[in-house]
A and B are shown apart, each in its own frame.
Chain A
Amino acid sequence: EPEVTQTPSHQVTQMGQEVILRCVPISNHLYFYWYRQILGQKVEFLVSFYNNEISEKSEIFDDQFSVERPDGSNFTLKIRSTKLEDSAMYFCASSEHTGEYQPQHFGDGTRLSIL
C-alpha cells in the first residue's frame, strides 16, 4: 500500500539554526498537510497546501515557518531560527483530491530536538 514517507526520522539542531523537514506524499494525492505533536500533547494542525499554495494555516504557523513543493514529489517544511519550543514530532499528511470524506494519510514523523 502506498505510504507517506518522511525524512529524517530524527533531527537534532542547535537553537537559532534553520531546519528543513522533508516529506514524500502519496503520488496521486493533491492535498498536503503538516501537523506537529509536542511530547504528551495532541496532534495540532500547522498548514495545508493545495495547487502550489497554502490553503489554510493555524496561528502556530507564523513567519518562522514556510512550506514548499519544490518538485513533483517532495513537500518540505522549513523552520527558520528554531526555538526550544519547536521541539516536537512533525507529521506530514496527504489526501486525494476527488470526493468528499477523504481520510488523511500520515507519515511516521520527524522527531525534531532543539538544543
Chain B
Amino acid sequence: SQKIEQNSEALNIQEGKTATLTCNYTNYSPAYLQWYRQDPGRGPVFLLLIRENEKEKRKERLKVTFDTTLKQSLFHITASQPADSATYLCAPRNSGNTPLVFGKGTRLSVIA
C-alpha cells in the first residue's frame, strides 16, 4: 500500500539555523509533490510544489528538493524564525485534482 513517512514527529532548532524536513514515500510514482504548513487549529496552507522533472525549487527562505530515485523530498527553511514554528506536511500526487494524501507531518519548533 502507499505510504508516506516524514522523518520525525518533532524537530527543534535554534533561530537562525536551517531546518531540514524529510518526506519519504513508497508505492507511489508521483508526478509532483506538494508541501503544506499547518498551524494548530487551522487548515493546511499550500507552500510549494515540485514536479518530478525538477530537482530543486525555491521560494524566499524555502527550498524543496525531489529525488524520484530515492523516493524522497527534502524541505529546507533557511534562517529559521520562531514564526516558522508549525507542522509541515508533504503530499505526493499523481495528477492534478486527485485527493491529497498527507504524511503525518513534522512539527517544527524554532527556539529564539
A residues contacting B by CB (< 8 A) are 4, 31, 33, 35, 41-45, 48, 50, 56, 58, 89, 91, 93, 95, 97, 99-109, 111
**Measured between C-beta atoms, what is the minimum distance from A103 to chain B in Å?**
4
Main secondary structure of the interface of B (DSSP, over half): loop
A42-B102, A43-B102, A101-B49 known; A31+B97 contact, CB < 8 A: yes
Tell yes or no: B45 within 8 A of A by CB. Answer: yes
The residue in chain A whose Cβ has the minimal distance to the Cβ of B97 is: A31
**Measured between C-beta atoms, what is the minimum distance from A15 to chain B in Å?**
24
Task: Note all chain A residues with C-beta closer than 8 A to B34.
Answer: 103
Q: Do B96 and A100 touch (CB < 8 A)?
A: yes
Additional A-B contact list (13), CB under 8 Å, known A31-B97, A33-B99 = A41-B104, A42-B104, A44-B102, A45-B99, A48-B97, A89-B41, A91-B43, A93-B100, A100-B96, A101-B49, A106-B44, A108-B43, A109-B42
Q: Do A101 and B51 touch (CB < 8 A)?
A: yes
Task: Note all chain B residues with C-beta closer than 8 A to A105.
Answer: 46
B residues contacting A by CB (< 8 A) are 31-32, 34, 38, 41-46, 49, 51, 89, 95-105
Task: Note all chain B residues with C-beta closer than 8 A to A102.
Answer: 96-97
Task: Note all chain A residues with C-beta closer than 8 A to B51.
Answer: 101
| Cα–Cα distance between A43 and B21 once the two chains are bound (Å) | 18
| Cα–Cα distance between A18 and B42 once the two chains are bound (Å) | 24
The residue in chain A whose Cβ has the minimal distance to the Cβ of B47 is: A103
Q: Do A56 and B43 touch (CB < 8 A)?
A: no
Q: Do B32 and A101 touch (CB < 8 A)?
A: yes
Q: Do B45 and A101 touch (CB < 8 A)?
A: no
Task: Note all chain B residues with C-beta closer than 8 A to A93.
Answer: 43, 100
The 7 closest A-B pairs by CB, nearest first: A106-B43, A103-B46, A45-B99, A100-B96, A42-B104, A43-B102, A31-B97
Task: Note all chain A residues with C-beta closer than 8 A to B101.
Answer: 45
